[in-house]
A = this chain, B = another copy of it.
Amino acid sequence: MMRIGMLTSGGDCQSLNATMRGVAKTLYNSMGDVEIIGFEEGYKGLMYADYRIMKSSDFSGILTEGGTILGTSRQPFKLMRQPDEQGRDKVEMMKHTYHRLRLDCLVVLGGNGSQKTANLLSQEGLNVIGLPKTIDNDLWGTDMTFGFQSAVNIATNAIDCIHTTAASHGRVFIVEIMGHKVGWLTLHAGLAGGADIILLPEIPYDINVVADAIKKRAKAGKRFSILAVAEGAISKENAALSKKEQKKLQQNNPYPSIAYEVGARINELTGQEVRVTVPGHMQRGGAPCPYDRVLSTRLGAAAGKMIMDGKYGYLVGIRNNEIVNVPLADVAGKLKMVSPDCDMIKEAKLVGISFGDE
């Protein structure tokens, strides 16, 4: 009999359950004898041996369910061989659970940080398979992560709702979209929602350029402007500072988040009324969209196949619409960012979207 451990780690997102269902259905269908062990709340469950033995029926009817049936937690610690409160080595604790339960493999659904840990465990000799979870789509080695398109739908819907109210009142509206380091979600939702200005972490903005774009629209008779602003959008001045100076600035920042700051500056520079909307955690929630369910089922099935083939140490990704295996070592610690001169940015500029940079 094979024994497979499974956990979901990091901020939750849509399609975690659909992915686990894909793995589980493949294993139950194809192998006579398999047991799946679900760890509670991510790596914490693996460390403290907090788990339950899953039944086939646990994976029934969850294709369309948001969240994760296993629970998740952000890793509340740097895992690199740092001790827990009792002074025990965390990595050793996880290895201990793995070996004590006689697992044949550990399946990790997680984003950047979680795959880094997955790689660490793999290097320690555990059989690990990673699955690319994140609404940010910033995992290296895969064209797409599950959760991303569902989040794009919610963020776009926020812009759509704002569109009608902006048009009726003739105001500037800012929708703040998740993404501290990476702007894919904002870029896609901004394009899909017809935002006039898009501010991304990867393209520092000049607030005067932003204000000019708004004024130009007003002059052309457009009653409103809509900005899609990533949480991690940054001005050129601030981007030029050292990380330390940035942190200090952040601490004295009177605004709850960047959208409010940008809004205040626009109001100063253009005199126009500005409203801010922050859909926030909504972007991680709700049922996965059909796109994600297809992606998750494919990735899950592929992971199941790899387990049957004994192929470990990889992240299962998708490239050019085909499943690929990327060594966890290649994935760990890398981010897939928006390049300021990539095709998509150029195309967005062609249709008249300003990124506040020129």
List residues of chain A with CB under 8 Å of any chain B CB.
8, 11-12, 14, 16, 21-22, 25-26, 29-30, 41, 63-68, 71-73, 143, 149, 152-154, 156-158, 160-165, 167-170, 173, 188-189, 191-194, 223, 256, 260, 275-286, 289-291, 293-294, 297-298, 300-302, 304-305, 319-323, 343-344, 346-348, 350-352
Residues of B within 8 A of A162 (CB): 281-282, 285
Say yes or no: B173 contacts A281, CB within 8 Å.
yes
Distance in angstroms between the alpha carbons of A352 and B149 in the assembled complex: 25
Say yes or no: A223 contacts B279, CB within 8 Å.
no
Distance in angstroms between the alpha carbons of A65 and B277 in the assembled complex: 21
Say yes or no: A350 contacts B164, CB within 8 Å.
no
Residues of B within 8 A of A169 (CB): 11-12, 71-73
Distance in angstroms between the alpha carbons of A167 and B63 in the assembled complex: 15
- Among A21, A26, A158, max chain B CB count under 10 A is at A158
CB distance from A65 to the nearest CB of B (A): 7
Say yes or no: B67 contacts A165, CB within 8 Å.
yes
Distance in angstroms between the alpha carbons of A343 and B158 in the assembled complex: 34
CB distance from A185 to the nearest CB of B (A): 11
Say yes or no: A278 contacts B278, CB within 8 Å.
yes
